[in-house]
């Protein structure tokens, strides 16, 4: 009786697995996955959460300084504060422009990126990328992904891969 049986999936599935894998993680599908991740980061951040380190746990964004709260109250009176925040809520959404500039893009098979479009901000000469760097340097690293977000991405990819394998 044999103790071990070597199973070569490549031989069993042939090119079926390779083509399903490449299709699941194609550039266009990676763009979809990265777009979904960018939306997840936007929602999490607008709700006041962040991941201090990649694949860490979710934590709350540091509270705002009194001077920032005062400035946001001024912006609210002028009607320039985003409707997605309040003067006292710490969620990187003073105008909403930074989070709205988040995009996801597939670069090639199995490689994607979430980035901040480096457009000029309406209110200043700063670029969104400058503001993103500033808020990260201030202890608000909003582009990191939580372990739960990474797990959800892996589950979505697995679901799509299994769907393709069952089809063929």
Sketch the domain layout of the chain as residue ranges: 16-60+96-167
Spatial distance between the Cα atoms of 50 and 38, rounded to a whole number of angstroms = 13
**pLDDT tier at 109, thresholds 50, 70, 90:** confident
Between 4 and 143, the more confident residue is 143
Spatial distance between the Cα atoms of 98 and 61, rounded to a whole number of angstroms = 15
Beta-carbon contacts of 157 under 8 Å, excluding residues fewer than 6 positions away, are: 24, 25, 33
34-49 pLDDT per residue, tens:
999 999 999 999 999 9
Instruction: Say what the pLDDT of residue 83 is.
Output: 86
**pLDDT tier at 160, thresholds 50, 70, 90:** very high
**pLDDT tier at 2, thresholds 50, 70, 90:** low
Spatial distance between the Cα atoms of 102 and 34, rounded to a whole number of angstroms = 10
**pLDDT tier at 1, thresholds 50, 70, 90:** low
Task: Evaluate if residue 127 carries a pLDDT over 60.
Answer: yes
Strand pairing class (111-116; 49-51): unpaired
Read off the pTM.
0.82
Instruction: Provide, rounded to the nearest whole percent, the portion of the chain with pLDDT above 70.
Output: 89
């Amino acid at each position: 009786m044999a103790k071990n049986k070597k199973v070569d999936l490549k031989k069993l599935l042939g090119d079926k697995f390779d083509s399903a894998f490449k299709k699941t993680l194609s550039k266009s599908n990676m763009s979809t996955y990265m777009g979904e991740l960018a939306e997840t980061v936007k929602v999490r951040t607008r709700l006041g959460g962040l991941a201090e380190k990649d694949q860490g746990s979710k934590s709350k964004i540091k509270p705002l300084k009194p001077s920032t709260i005062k400035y946001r109250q001024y912006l609210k009176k002028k009607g320039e504060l985003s409707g997605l925040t309040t003067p006292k809520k710490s969620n990187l959404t003073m105008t909403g422009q930074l989070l709205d500039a988040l995009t996801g893009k597939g670069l090639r098979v199995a490689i994607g990126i979430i980035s901040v479009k480096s457009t000029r901000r309406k209110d200043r000469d700063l670029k969104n990328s400058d503001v993103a760097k500033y808020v990260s340097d201030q202890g608000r690293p909003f582009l990191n992904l939580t372990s739960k977000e990474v797990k959800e991405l892996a589950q979505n990819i697995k679901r799509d891969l299994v769907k393709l394998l069952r089809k063929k």
